Amino acid sequence: MNSVSISGYGDDLSVNGIRIGDLTPDDHEQIEKEKGGQNYAPLENIVVSKVKDSSTLMARKPDPNDVKKYIETELIDGLCCYSAVNQGQLNQTIVDAVVKHLEEEKLPTVPRSIRHKYMSAFLLAATSITEMDKVVPKVAGVESWELTFKICRRWGYHVKGIKDDHCIIVGATGNFHGRSVAAVSMSDDPDSRDGFGPFVPGIELVPYNDINALESLFNEKGDRIAAFMVEPIQGEAGVIVPDEDYFIKVSDLCKKHNILLAMDEVQTGFGRTGANFAHQIFGVKPDIMGCGKAAGGGILPVSFVAGRKDVINVLTPGSEGSTFGGYPLASVVGTYAIKVLADEKLADNAKVQGAHLIGNLNKIMDEFPDKIKEVRGKGLLTAFEMHNEKHLDGHTVSVELLNHGVYAKETHHSTVRLAPALTINNDQIDQLSDAIRSVVKGL
């Protein structure tokens, strides 16, 4: 006898006789609590069931008249999966490419030990859009960071000539690069580190946006430092935008000390900040960078490392690899995610709508200066920070926004990040802003 029985699709999908369409938000929460690891604390009483259009989610919330039922509600997606869906949900160009690929072209999966014809397409597209010499495909965002870390270390030994096992990689305080052991070894967030040590050695942190601290570390230990690995704008930290000239100075310092400038563009890339990649708005070019999230067009996890030839060339067969990094379907999705970024001019829309959103948020701040302390952002990577007072709680704002038809989420206690799809239009930005205004007013 089968130990599991699965049938149907959508709401009729049933597992062991439990029909998914019959489950209330509370049932979903119970199943997640009983059967899942508790590594997330999703917003309560809401379950997304499908997308309506590129910036609108359909979700289920409890029926106030009957706890055993739910009602459907529309939510403007103010977060787009933390910038994984810059191209908008179910972008037609990418969906068409996937369907055509699977049904007509028919090449889902082969390993990297045999060439497939779509890899060339992806490499041509990814090197063009990044203006980099070489690209190495991976899967999750953290893997692009981790591979960047490894390449930098190897470059440090093989090219810079750092003594074996003496390499240092420098990171910035408040960073977020993902959840692997190496990434949390660089993190200074106690929640993501507790109980996971011992950590990867050879990592040092300097305060973000502090050029003097970086300079003194480079002066003191520059011979041992292979790379400064940094987010151009810190997303998870609450959308922290550095001084306009910070990265110009960083880049000069890196060149002076023969240290690689490695950027994590997983969240800031693919048009998010009003340029294809955020380093472009600061007028610098990293030696190597990691991309993820929207590299998969909101359809598949796709990430990659892009860099200068002499840096990426430290990789040799056997030194790195990934079953699904650049497999045929991912190569097609990645290629079309880039096509949409370029053809639909997503960065330009991020710039225009981002200015509109930041303008609206500034007006709300002017109206409620006792509540909102600061509005920050570039393009459509934006946030507002409230004063540090108990009743000005980011989580309450997220929950209340749901009641006003908007999905957004706090980062830290008092900051709410807004990063909608880059296909969002003027009216949707206004709807989003009106909801924020009402919620802030009621705090």
The catalytic residue positions are 176, 264, 293
For residues 236 and 400, which CB has a smaller minimum distance to ligand PLP in the complex? 236
Q: How far apart are CA 12 and CA 5, in angstroms?
A: 13
For residues 266 and 365, which CB has a smaller minimum distance to ligand PLP in the complex? 266
Q: How far apart are CA 247 and CA 249, in angstroms?
A: 5
What residues line the site for ligand PLP (CB under 6 A)? 82, 140-142, 145, 176-178, 231, 235-236, 264, 266-267, 292
Nearest CA-CA partner of 60 in 49, 68, 75, 44: 49
Q: How far apart are CA 109 and CA 130, in angstroms?
A: 26
Nearest CA-CA partner of 282 in 228, 246, 236: 246
Q: How far apart are CA 369 and CA 372, in angstroms?
A: 5
**Minimum CB separation from ligand PLP for residue 338, in Å?**
18
Q: How far apart are CA 400 and CA 382, in angstroms?
A: 19
**Minimum CB separation from ligand PLP for residue 426, in Å?**
27
Using DSSP bridges, classify how beta strands 18-19 and 14-15 pair: parallel, antiparallel or unpaired. Answer: antiparallel
Tell me the HSE value of 178 on the side-chain side, using a 13 A CA sphere: 24
**Cα 60 from chain centroid?**
25
Q: Which two tokens stand for residue 285?
A: 């070019």
Strands of the sheet with 66-77, listed across from one edge: 47-53, 56-63, 66-77, 406-407
**Minimum CB separation from ligand PLP for residue 90, in Å?**
20
For residues 250 and 365, which CB has a smaller minimum distance to ligand PLP in the complex? 250
**Minimum CB separation from ligand PLP for residue 376, in Å?**
16
For residues 59 and 184, which CB has a smaller minimum distance to ligand PLP in the complex? 184
Contact assessment for residue 172 and residue 234, using Cβ atoms and an 8 Å cutoff: yes
Nearest CA-CA partner of 203 in 191, 190, 187: 187
**Minimum CB separation from ligand PLP for residue 175, in Å?**
8
Nearest CA-CA partner of 254 in 208, 230, 222: 222
For residues 341 and 365, which CB has a smaller minimum distance to ligand PLP in the complex? 341
Q: What is the dihedral of CA 283, 289, 294, 297, to 10 degrees?
A: 110
**Minimum CB separation from ligand PLP for residue 7, in Å?**
32
| Cβ-proximal residue to ligand PLP, closest one | 141
Nearest CA-CA partner of 218 in 232, 208, 228: 228
For residues 264 and 385, which CB has a smaller minimum distance to ligand PLP in the complex? 264
For residues 176 and 304, which CB has a smaller minimum distance to ligand PLP in the complex? 176
Please give the DSSP secondary-structure letter assigned to residue 162: -
**Minimum CB separation from ligand PLP for residue 57, in Å?**
19
